[in-house]
Structure 1
Amino acid sequence: ESKPANVLTQGTTEGQIRFGAGGDYVNLDVAVHDLLQGIPPYLRQDLVALIGTDLVAQEKAALMAAVGGKPTEKTLAQLSLTTFGGLPWKTPSNFPARGLVITSLNNLSIYQQDGSWRRQIVDNPKKDRIEDYNSRNEGYVVETPEKLVAWEFNNVKLEGEW
């Protein structure tokens, strides 16, 4: 919301970002490098690529298909997956499968409202269990919007889908 220009919503095809052979981005190295250009050079410290599982799986499949059954090439291919576009990468829990975000981890925060945590423990003999109810007010924040670039993951089409 604070920096909509830093979220890529489409490639050469309107409403789509095509990923894979013949698409807007042939692999994750190209995609990460291209998105990285949206972050000013003075903010490019401690960056990491947050990458969804579908994108990583497609990248691995393409790499394994290219090296075939050669054990030495396969080992080198596995080692080459430690970075994409020169950045280390992670797949966070519950991250969108086709998501791609570049930022530093310390640029992402969770704020919790003081006094908002509510907890109730209920003994429920009808179900033979103890029930623990928790709730709290929290918000997720990008501290420096200029230090984050991303894809609109709902628009990502993988090779063979377009």
Structure 2
Amino acid sequence: MRKETRIAFNGYLAQQAKINDVTSATEKFTVAAAPHQKLESAIQESNDFLKKINIISVDEQTGEAILLGVNGPTASRTNTSQNARNPRDPSAMTKCPYSCKKTDFDTAFPYALLDAWAKFKDFQVRLSSSIAERQGLDRIMIGFNGTSAAAATDLAANPLLQDVNKGWLQKIREVAPERVLDHGATPGKVTIGATGDYKTLDGLVFDAVQMLDPWHRKRPDLVVVVDRALLHEKQLAAVEKGAASNQEENAAGEVIKKGRLGNLPIEDVPFFIEGGVMISTLSNLSIYVQTGGRRRHLKDEPERDRVADYQSSNEDYVIEDLGLVALVENIKRV
């Protein structure tokens, strides 16, 4: 590490110790409330998808979904000369349980990289931003691919972080299997094509909406999250049609940018599962983070020519209203 890099990095350590009210950031510490919230905000702001969902701080490590949802209509009328009015509990729905599990977000920065960044005045911001961005991407990857929470994870065997925590889709499979369609006429797959379960992907989405509770099926904020590979044929047709003229090419670009499936807007997100479709609102997806559950330890490791940032957070992935989600997976074209 160069001299100017050491000066910049020592300044970073001093700043982290100051904002967390600890003697040294090179000893393991609990991240204080204010910097913890600032980090959570930075993680959320680092990705457009994360900006649209909920990241919620919870005091308890375990519990049930906490956002108040209205499970069906509340309007009614009662003949009070014969019966008493009976208010409906708007939160009376099948709740998605949560259990915030310790998740390590450990990052190593080679001296060579820090040397390259040290010449910039925003050295500390660059370092913090890179950490927040990577943690945000990891959360999305876990949210859509996580199926278990292993005691010791294996990145080689689970490159999409499948064993770090149970994500949103796994919660649907376990808590609300009636909201999942994973096979059709052929066991183990839902087929699309001339001889398939559905002729088109649009038809599949249009039908899958029926898995939502009736009062949610015509919500204006419904979106469809879909495997990008499944969209290839639909988008390829729009691109090829647009090749005839500039005007049509621009129109084709709008078709892709503002695409719809089954009359629902497409929400393009990274790391969504292959052969899958999910219908919901983005406000129905949450990440719960336990208050006071983030630990950190910054460590210079000269034997590896790097600086390590050991961080951990207690968190989980939650579907707020299980009646407001439908999942179709194992989709194959025939």
Q: Secondary structure at the match of 1:115?
A: coil
Q: How does 1:119-158 map to 2 (within 5 A)?
A: 119-152=296-329, 155-158=330-333
Name the CA shift for 1:53/1:129 in 2 (closer, same or farther; >3 Å).
same
2:285 pairs with 1:111 = no
Determine the structure 2 residue equivalent to 1:14. 187
Q: How does 1:82-101 map to 2 (within 5 A)?
A: 82-101=259-278
Q: Secondary structure at the match of 1:133?
A: strand
Q: In the TM superposition, what is the alpha-carbon distance from 1:7 to its structure 2 partner?
A: 0.4
Name the CA shift for 1:60/1:22 in 2 (closer, same or farther; >3 Å).
farther
Q: Secondary structure at the match of 1:95?
A: coil
Which letter does structure 2 place at the counterpart of 1:70?
A
Identical positions, percent: 37
In structure 2, distance between residues paired with 1:39 and 1:83: 18
Q: Which of 41, 51, 63 is residue 214 of structure 2 equivalent to?
A: 41
**Greater per-residue helix proportion:** 2
In structure 2, distance between residues paired with 1:144 and 1:58: 32
Which letter does structure 1 place at the counterpart of 2:225?
L
Normalised by the length of structure 1, the TM-score is 0.83
Name the CA shift for 1:21/1:74 in 2 (closer, same or farther; >3 Å).
farther
In structure 1, distance between residues paired with 2:320 and 2:184: 27
Determine the structure 2 residue equivalent to 1:79. 254
**Greater per-residue strand proportion:** 1
In structure 2, distance between residues paired with 1:62 and 1:25: 19
Name the CA shift for 1:47/1:68 in 2 (closer, same or farther; >3 Å).
closer
Q: What do residues 120-142 of structure 1 show as CA deviations (whole Å, max 9, x unaligned)?
A: 11101122221112221211111
In structure 1, distance between residues paired with 2:232 and 2:196: 17
Determine the structure 2 residue equivalent to 1:51. 226
Task: Structure 1: give runs of 5+ residues left out of the alignment.
Answer: none
Check conservation: 1:27, 1:59, Cα contact below 8 A. no
Task: Structure 2: give runs of 5+ residues left out of the alignment.
Answer: 1-173
In structure 2, distance between residues paired with 1:37 and 1:129: 53
Q: Secondary structure at the match of 2:175?
A: coil
Which letter does structure 1 place at the counterpart of 2:205?
V
Q: What do residues 101-154 of structure 1 show as CA deviations (whole Å, max 9, x unaligned)?
A: 0000011111112222121111011222211122212111111101000113xx
Q: Secondary structure at the match of 2:303?
A: coil
Larger Rg: 2
